[in-house]
Amino acid sequence: MSSSLLDDSGTDSTPRADRTARTRWRRRRTPAVLFIGVLLLGTGLSCLGWVVYQLLGTNMVSNQVFQTERDTLRQKWDSEKARGPKVESEAIPGDAIALLRIPAFGPSYEIPVLSGTDLDILSRGVGHYLGTADPGQLGNFAIAGHRVTHGQPFARLLELNKGDRIVVETRDAIYTYVLDASPRDLTVDDSETWVLDPVPGKPAANPTQAMITLTTCQDLFHSPDRSVGFGHLESTKDKP
């Protein structure tokens, strides 16, 4: 049955006042529906834009920052060597301390290693966990990097295999580590800090070798799980 009343001639017999009120209600409803539609569309486009920026924009920005950090660090090393013997000092969080190379990722892979693992630091390179050993030192040199966004330096970390080499260059030496197991074989919660111990899993033990620990998100997007790979120092080459 139609919602309007028709007389025998097919003419709407609804009182004129009712028809006028209904027309006004429809006119008021149309702008409201249009506004809500535009609002939802704008929200959807904003979310899409944020995702695109995270996946693409942050990588473009961070890759440029990586290059700047690499160039600045090499210039710093050259300047320090020109001044004579190095004066040892503790790195300030955010300072670049080394360069990381992973031959399995190709000859162009070279990422700055910075002191600290805050989010802003990890957008500029790979982060060195404060309190863990320095490169080449006895104990656990532990580092972290993004697997997705912000340059994603560890995007392919789970592709590494036992025996792959990790090269860390500092001002004075080049350290080559060898992986003891693939990072895809060990997943821990981000609260399990035993992987950062000088001897992982043995907090009371004194380290007898230099080792490296690499950590990254297990999943492509943010999660509390971390993939972890351990390796040992194979060789040290002093730089001239």
**CA gap 124, 106 in Å, rounded:** 20
Question: Is residue 38, in this structure, part of any structural domain at all?
Answer: no
Catalytic residue (choose from 101, 124, 128, 226): 226
Tell me the pTM.
Answer: 0.74
Token pair 């035993």 is found at 194
Smallest Cα–Cα separation from 195: which of 209, 210, 212? 212
Instruction: Report the pLDDT value the prediction gives residue 36, as an integer from 0 to 100.
Output: 67
Q: Is residue 135 part of a domain?
A: yes
Is 226 annotated in the active site? yes
Residue-number span of the structural domain to which 99 is assigned:
51-238
Mean pLDDT across 65-81:
92
For residue 181, the model assigns a pLDDT of 92
The mean pLDDT of the chain is: 82
Q: Looking at 101, 124, 146, 147, which residue is catalytic?
A: 146
pLDDT, residue 190, reads 87
Tell whether 16 is covered by a domain: no
Give residue 213's pLDDT band: very low, low, confident or very high (50, 70, 90). very high
Question: Poorest-confidence range of 80-94, 124-138, 167-181?
Answer: 80-94
Mind giving me the DSSP string for 99-144?
EEE-GGG-TT--EEEEE---HHHHTSSEEEPTTSPPTTSSEEEEEE
Residue 149 lies in a domain: yes
Give me the CATH number covering residue 68. Answer: 2.40.260.10
* Domain assignment present for 137: yes
Q: Has 28 been annotated as catalytic?
A: no
Asked, for residue 13, whether it belongs to a domain, the answer is no
Whether 114 maps to a domain, the answer reads yes
> Residue 82 CB: number of other CB atoms within 10 A?
7
State yes or no: is 29 an active-site residue: no
Evaluate whether residue 2 is within a structural domain: no
Residue for token pair 């590494």: 160
* Residue 132: alpha-carbon gap to chain centroid: 20
Q: Is the pLDDT of residue 22 over 70?
A: no
Q: Which of residues 150 and 122 earns the better pLDDT score?
A: 122
Q: How many domains does the chain fold into?
A: 1
The confidence band for 48, taking pLDDT boundaries of 50, 70 and 90, is low
Confidence class for position 50, pLDDT limits 50, 70, 90 = very low
